[in-house]
Amino acid sequence: MHCSKTIAVLLLVAATILTTKESNSFIFNRKSYRILYKKTTVMSSNSGDNKNSLVSSCDTKEPAFPNCLPKERLGTSHGSLEAFHQAVGSATRPAKKTKEYTLVVVTETVTVQETQHKHQRILLGMKNRGFGTGKFNSFGGKFLHDETGDNERESVEECACRELEEETNLRIPIKEMIESRVGVQRFTFEDNDKEMLVHLYFLDLANSFGGEGSAASYEVRACDEITPQWFESFDQVPFDNMFADDSLWLTALLSAARSRASNPSSAKPSRLEPPLQINGSYHFKENCEETNTILHYHMDIQSPKRN
């Protein structure tokens, strides 16, 4: 009898904990896709709350992105670029030496004929050498300057296409890369006066190559610098083995891609149009590769611009 009462009490406590718990969440509004970082109450799955928003588990261990880095590694969010610069102290620091790169996020959405379910996976690369060795990342790199010594260089999209092909063997037409532009991400560092400016793109291979075929139709191949690997669902993305900023902007991008696949808009976008426009600034703690911790950040997230 005493044992039965004890079990009943334990079950009641467990039910109370599951019904509501307080946590910090990133909330994405479906209409504007503006990111709001705030303290919220996450109800149990049968409560019916939060029907009008997407929740990205950047700092919680929810099913969406269970491998995200914890909140204390993601720094302080600032509501404006001015507030970000003020917190970082940009105005009192020497002018930054900016170096530009490209980065292409590669996914594939396939419809399962039996259920019409949209299966989504992502291609990431394990870095074998150079900056970020041992971590996963998307695909991209530096610009090639004209060897004659002129200031001319390849275009941003030319660089993105070339780097993607070199690292994965996927050849994308430049005009398709132009349509796939997401925005610009800027990275600064507490112990370094250099700024990394990254031009970001998002490709779903089911929509590329003239809208036909998929990555399965092409041979994804490694190179000496990076080894591509498919992760068969977005919740498998190894954010705990990626740079900290991925736990912010990439979760936003994948959440929007997942929402688009589940709820196709009545006003159909361009087949290559990314699900979000993201421009972000991220300031890392000193010794970035070792600490992998953001101190301050600001993200401006907008719904895609219709033509």
Q: Can you give the three-state secondary structure of 112-167, one letter per residue? A: ECCCCEEEEEEEEEEECCCCCCCCEECECCECCECCCCCCCECCHHHHHHHHHHHH
27 is a domain residue: no
Q: According to the model, what pLDDT value does residue 92 have?
A: 64
281 is a domain residue: yes
Q: What is the pLDDT along the chain (307 residues), one digit of tens a residue?
A: 555 555 454 444 444 434 433 333 333 332 233 333 333 222 223 333 333 333 344 644 445 899 999 999 999 999 999 999 999 987 567 667 899 999 999 999 887 777 667 889 999 999 999 888 999 999 999 998 755 455 678 999 999 999 999 999 999 999 999 999 999 999 999 998 899 999 999 999 988 755 444 444 568 999 999 999 999 999 999 999 999 999 999 999 999 999 888 876 544 556 678 889 999 999 999 999 899 999 999 999 998 765 4
146 is a domain residue: yes
18 is a domain residue: no
126 is a domain residue: yes
24 is a domain residue: no
Cα–Cα distance between 254 and 54 in angstroms, integer? 11
Q: Which amino acid is at 281?
A: S
Under 8 Å between Cβ of 282 and 253: no
216 is a domain residue: yes
Report the domain count for the chain: 1
Q: According to the model, what pLDDT value does residue 19 have?
A: 40
Q: According to the model, what pLDDT value does residue 74 have?
A: 97
CATH of the domain at 148: 3.90.79.10
Strand partners, 119: 110
Q: According to the model, what pLDDT value does residue 28 have?
A: 33
19 is a domain residue: no
Domain containing residue 137: 71-263+271-302
Q: According to the model, what pLDDT value does residue 110 have?
A: 84
